[in-house]
Each structure stands twice: as C-alpha cells, then as structure tokens.
C-alpha cells in the first residue's frame, strides 16, 4: 500500500501534484535548451563572436554548479515553497533582462542571473523526499525525471520555430510566460513540505573531508562528470555545427538538438527497469561503452567523408542513451559510498558534474575553430566519454580490491 498522501490539484493543503513537480524541474531544462537554435542569430544581433555568445551556455552551467551546493541548505532553513517562489520570480525578471539587453555583456549578466531557476531541479527531488518514505522516493523521482526528459526534446523545436518566425527575442517571451505559469502553479499547488530540520552549512562542510577520502566516490563523480561533459560539449558546439557546417534552419536545428534527449529518455527507462537486476556498475559500464562506440563510429564515418546532419545528430542519440544509463546509476553510486553523507555527496557531486560541463561547453566552441566541420566536436566528445569509461573501470577495480581486503 502506498504511503503517498492523497493529492488534490491546486490545493496547498495536500502534497503537490506530480505534474507540478515535473514542470518545476522542467523549467530549468527548458531554459537551458530552448534558445540554442538562436545562438547564431544572437551572435549576429549583438555583433560579437560565437565563442563569446556561447558563454550563455558555459556561464549558465557554472552558476548552476555553484547554486547546487547552496540551494538545498537554504531551502531547509527557509522552506521549499518560499525559495521556489523567490527563485521563479527572479528568473522572470532575469528573462526580461535578457529580452531587452542591448549589448552582449548585459545579456550575459542577466543570463547568469537566470541560473537561479536551478532551484526547481534541486528542490523537486527534495520535495519528493519530504512527501514519501525513502523506499518510495526513488520511484517517484524516476517519474519526475522521465517527465522532465521530455522537455529537452520539445523545447529546442519550439525555440527554433519561434526564432524562425519571430526572431530570437520571441523565445525569451516564451520563457517569461513559462516562468509566470510555473510560478502560479507553485503558488496555488505547492504547500510547504520541509520539516525545518536542515543541517547548517558548517555541519555540511565538516563532512567534506570524509567524502574526499573515498576513492570510489571520486570514481563515480568523474564517471558522471565526463559522461555529462560529452553532452555539454554537444550543447556548446552543436548550434554552430547546425548553422555553419550543415546550413540548417533554426527549426531543424532544434529538431536535431532533441536527438540526445530521445536517447536519454530511453536510457532512463532501461535504468529503471534493469538496474536492480544487473547492478549499477554493470549499467554504467554498458552506458559508457554505448556512448563511446557511437561517437567513434560517427568520427570514423566523418573522417572518410560520410558526413551530414542526419548522421551527426543521429549518432549523438547514443550519447543521450549512454547518459540515460550512466547518470541515475552513477548518482546512486555517489550516494551509497557514504550513506550517512548522502545529502552532502549529492550536492557536491552535482556541482562538480555541472561545473565540468561548463568547462566542456567552452572547449567545444574552441575546438570548432580548428576547422574540418563537425569532426573536432565529435573527437572532443569521444575523448571525454573515453575518460568516463576509464573512471567506471577504476571503480570496479577498486571495489574488487575492497572485497578482497574484507575477505582477508
């Protein structure tokens, strides 16, 4: 029998509806991807270089990484509802700031402020943990994640279509409307779920040395960081590849950007179905090799002249599929190394993963300056994924050492 209390939609006295949680988390994912098809047009509008305009991705990721560490503790102290309402309000103001920016510097400032919407990504999971017992939380979080995975498939298509029809500013009008809509849902459907027993910043920082001393923790962190690094490199470089290498319109570029998200949704489904049966390390290893195999084949075909948007974006689906297998299981691995430090491990691991992604998105823009079409980007993604393969094999080897020492 489920322990989830009865839910009444738009009733703050009951737990929030799962659709509300999906949309709270999805707003951040939408903000990341909806404007990607417009990057080339925005580069021309602000009369700057693509590498500068691409900072709208990398700076956003860097700010998100920093916020990941602090959002949870702040919400423990002040409540999930209040933090989400304030962060969503700031997001709407920052989106309007992006919309009316007249220089690239002003745009990038407001884009950095937009990162506050990461509160939805973090707190949607925390709210689930508030609502249900631990043994049911993983399943419900899985539903939220599956629903959220649909957003990166659709958002670039919407952004591309809006850019093509009305210009890049229309995408930010759309994001403003989405922010207002999600804010209204939070106001009417989300009551306070936190118990008010959060640990202080000082207490959390005191846990860091114990985590830093765990080799397996670092193995899982770097496995996830390098795997997601390939995806973030794709986010940083694919807009330029789509427009300058393949000459795609904004709409069709948006369709291509959704390819990894399709793979990610499938990988998430497979993780939920088979991780218990085969174990997290087996699933991570399979996911890492799937990503690497797809990228190596794509690079080889590209090198011999078999190149085109269908091949490029089609093979990038393997990156999404691999990440869908890697990320849920690597996250579980991070949390299981020191179960009593699960909250600290989650925040620290996410910050490192997204911070690394910010760096990879910058390298993606640099790599494309080397020429040769999309091949430099594919090779960068392949190298990053190979490091993920090495990381999970290190974890497996380390676990065997631990098992042998315990047996003795």
pLDDT tens-digit series, residues 116-167: 998 887 777 677 766 765 445 545 665 666 666 677 678 888 898 999 899 9
- Asked if residue 325 belongs to a domain, the reply is yes
pLDDT band of 241, cuts 50, 70, 90: confident
pLDDT at 247: 87
249 shares its domain with 393? yes
End-of-domain residue from the set 169, 189, 209: 189
Q: How far is CA 109 from CA 61, 159, 257, 283, in A?
A: 13, 21, 25, 40
Contact 171, 114 (CB under 8 A): no
Q: What is the pTM of this model?
A: 0.73
CATH number at residue 395: 1.20.1250.20
- Asked if residue 255 belongs to a domain, the reply is yes
pLDDT band of 285, cuts 50, 70, 90: very high
286 shares its domain with 371? yes
pLDDT at 371: 64
Handedness of CA 93, 70, 355, 22 (dihedral sign): negative
Q: Which residue has the higher pLDDT, 198 or 384?
A: 384
113 shares its domain with 212? no
Q: Which of 294, 301, 321 is nearest to 386 (CA)?
A: 294
Domain span including residue 26:
16-189
Per-residue pLDDT, averaged over 332-348, amounts to 67
147 shares its domain with 205? no
- Asked if residue 336 belongs to a domain, the reply is yes
62 shares its domain with 81? yes
End-of-domain residue from the set 146, 162, 189: 189
End-of-domain residue from the set 154, 169, 189: 189
Q: Which of 142-151, 207-216, 273-282, 384-393 has the lowest mean pLDDT?
A: 142-151
| DSSP helix/strand/coil, 213 | coil
- Asked if residue 344 belongs to a domain, the reply is yes
306 shares its domain with 331? yes
Q: How many folded domains does the chain comprise?
A: 2
């Amino acid at each position: 029998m489920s322990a989830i209390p009865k839910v009444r939609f738009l009733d703050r006295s009951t737990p929030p509806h799962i659709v509300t949680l999906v949309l709270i988390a999805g707003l951040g994912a939408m903000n990341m991807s909806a404007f990607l098809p417009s990057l080339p047009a925005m580069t021309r509008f602000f009369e700057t270089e693509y590498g500068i305009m691409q900072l709208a991705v990398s700076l956003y990721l860097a700010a998100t990484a920093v916020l990941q560490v602090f959002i949870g503790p702040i919400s423990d102290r002040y409540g999930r509802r209040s933090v989400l309402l304030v962060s969503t309000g700031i997001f709407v103001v920052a989106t309007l700031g992006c919309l009316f920016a007249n220089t690239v510097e002003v745009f990038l400032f407001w884009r950095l402020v937009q990162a506050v919407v990461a509160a939805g990504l973090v707190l949607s999971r925390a709210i689930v943990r508030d609502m249900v017992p631990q043994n049911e939380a993983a399943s419900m979080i899985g539903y939220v994640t599956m629903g959220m995975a649909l957003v990166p498939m659709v958002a670039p298509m919407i952004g591309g279509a809006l850019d093509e029809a009305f210009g890049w500013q229309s995408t930010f009008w759309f994001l403003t409307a989405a922010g207002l809509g999600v804010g209204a849902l939070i106001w009417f459907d989300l009551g306070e779920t936190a118990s008010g027993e959060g640990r202080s910043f000082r207490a959390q920082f005191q846990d860091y040395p114990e985590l830093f001393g765990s080799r397996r923790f670092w193995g899982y962190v770097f496995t996830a960081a390098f795997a997601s690094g390939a995806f973030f490199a794709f986010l940083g470089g694919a807009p330029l590849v789509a427009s300058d290498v393949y000459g795609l319109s904004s709409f069709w570029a948006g369709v291509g950007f959704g390819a990894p998200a399709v793979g990610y949704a499938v990988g998430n489904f497979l993780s939920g179905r088979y991780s218990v049966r085969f174990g997290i390390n087996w699933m991570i290893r399979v996911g890492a090799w799937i990503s690497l195999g797809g990228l190596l084949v794509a690079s080889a075909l590209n090198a011999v002249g078999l190149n085109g948007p269908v091949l490029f974006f089609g093979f990038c689906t393997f990156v999404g599929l691999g990440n869908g297998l890697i990320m849920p299981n690597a996250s579980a691995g991070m949390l299981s190394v020191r179960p009593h430090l699960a909250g600290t491990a989650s925040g620290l691991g996410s910050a490192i993963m997204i911070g690394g992604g910010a760096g990879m998105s910058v390298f993606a823009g640099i790599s494309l300056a080397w020429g040769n079409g999309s091949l430099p980007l594919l090779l960068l993604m392949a190298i990053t994924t190979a490091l993920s393969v090495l990381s999970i094999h290190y974890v497996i080897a380390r676990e065997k050492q631990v098992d042998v020492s315990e047996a003795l």
